[in-house]
Chain A
Amino acid sequence: MNDDPIDVEKIRRILHLAKAANNQQNPDQAIALIETLRLAESEGLEKDWADSQLILAEAYTAKGDQLAETLFEETFELLAQFSPPEITLEIRAHEHFGDYLRRFAKRPSLARQHYENAKSRAVDLHICAEDIARIQLKIEAIELAMDQSPEAENFATLKRVAKKWGYTCAEQLAAWLHHKGQADDHDQGLRFARNREQAGEQYFKYLLDMVRMKT
């Protein structure tokens, strides 16, 4: 038992640093920082405890370590006890568990469920459109992969162009939805086509520019 008085500010600073380490692709540093904390039994710090578990789960996801799955499950158990619910943490947990399931556990349908959970909470909470778009793009990608859709390559092209030129997730999503919406128009009355299945980088750049100009 540790009798030291709890320095809440210090704890939150460490959590902040650990999150930053994860964002900078430095999971080992994030894990080391979290391990300096002793929060489990501290009253009034339940949210910080859940946050620390989530940061650990995210760090182990980045390392591709199976321990991530257990840590996410523990995080969900902790989050289930909050009333009112901690929706921002729930969104993060669902989205990043989805990432783990998609990238490492190769369980796309379960990953899709978690992304949907994250998205519905994000919509309920009216969080920023960029976050919702980011999650929706993950859902689009997973659906294309699950369906083995020929459009998956076009989606990859869109993502590549967007990364190269620095488009936001909201812009990417709008461009992708425009592309999907136009597919029927492009097919209507089409008798012969050249290279029908592959949309070029220029086309997605054009759509992304168009979306940016509109907004």
Chain B
Amino acid sequence: MKVKSNRWLSRIRKALSESNSEKATQCLVCRFRPECEPLETITTQFGIEQIVREPLPFDGGVYELDGKRFIKLNSLAASVRQRFTLAHELGHLILERTLKATTSCTSDKQLEEACDMIAAELLMPATLTRTLAERLGKQSPEKLTKVANYFDVSLRTAARRLYDLELWKMGTGMWKCDSAPEQIWFVGKRPWKTDRPSFSAFELAIESKTPVCTSERFSKGPYTELVALKAHHIGKKYVVAVVATTRNAGSVPAKAHS
């Protein structure tokens, strides 16, 4: 599993005497969720009396007022985002209970990342994700949609989790293709630098009902490099694409293709 150095994850590993971050997170989550209970049910273990959905200028948070605890979620956000926020806040409550991680609000970036990791395990348990990914086979934009729908998460969350668990190794991204494509997100190692790449795969995908596969070159300094793209139009000019760098295709001086 791809894990950056994080002192909270180190503490989780230590607390659970487990050297692997993924397994340690799994064990930690299992303590509070032995079966596959809904997230809302787990919150009661932490004294959460209510989950309030209302318009907020941020995603949500855990509140404590007059001795009562409740979670607020931003009702203006998409339901998958609300679910991720709920799982993230559960991450805070789990770490507060197990590691006394009481840093309030967002002053600790590493704590936020650790909570995101717990949220990922709550929403897409590693074992189940692995089984599903193996059953689906080769990485593709359509299969990403299937995984996201199965776990009721966003495409981005699904892509991130599959990549972090090293189940899908190619880069995946989403672009809004109005006049020029603009990147919405990208998971994995992006071969090019720009947020506005120009690939015919995007244009072709917009006009096609089925995914489009292309091999295209992009400029990288004085050279061009080859990538294979599989792009799929998911509606409203949003395109999801899987990007594979073609090994041994070699870097070719840009002039050779002018």
A residues adjacent to B (C-beta < 8 A): 154, 179, 182-183, 186, 188-200, 202-203, 206-207
Contact = CB atoms under 8 A, between A and B. Distances in A.
Contacts of A195: 58-59, 106
Contacts of A198: 58
Nearest to B71: A192
Contact of A189 (B56, B65, B88, B89): B65
Contact of A192 (B74, B76, B77, B105): B105
A206 B77 CA distance: 11
B230 interface: no
B63 A189 contact: yes
B35 interface: no
B62 interface: yes
Nearest to B76: A202
B104 A203 contact: no
26 contacts: A154-B57, A182-B57, A188-B65, A189-B63, A189-B65, A190-B61, A190-B63, A190-B104, A191-B92, A191-B104, A192-B105, A193-B58, A193-B60, A193-B61, A194-B88, A194-B89, A195-B59, A196-B61, A196-B106, A197-B106, A199-B58, A200-B77, A203-B55, A203-B57, A206-B55, A206-B76
Interface in B14-71: 55-65
B120 to A, nearest CB: 14
B143 to A, nearest CB: 28
Contacts of B76: 200, 202-203, 206
Contact of B63 (A191, A200, A206): A191
Contacts of B61: 190-194, 196
A188 B55 CA distance: 16
B129 interface: no
B85 interface: yes
Among all A-B residue pairs, the 6 with the closest Cβ atoms? A199-B57, A193-B61, A189-B65, A194-B59, A192-B92, A202-B76
B62 A191 contact: yes
Interface string B98-119: 0000101110000010010000
Contacts of A186: 56-58
A191 B57 contact: no
B64 A189 contact: yes
A78 B62 CA distance: 60
B67 to A, nearest CB: 10
Nearest to A206: B55
A202 B59 CA distance: 11
B153 to A, nearest CB: 15
B65 A179 contact: no
Contacts of A189: 63-65
A186 B88 CA distance: 18
Given A199-B57, A203-B56, A191 B77 contact: no
Nearest to A193: B61
A182 B85 CA distance: 21
Given A202-B77, A203-B74, A206-B76, A194 B63 contact: no
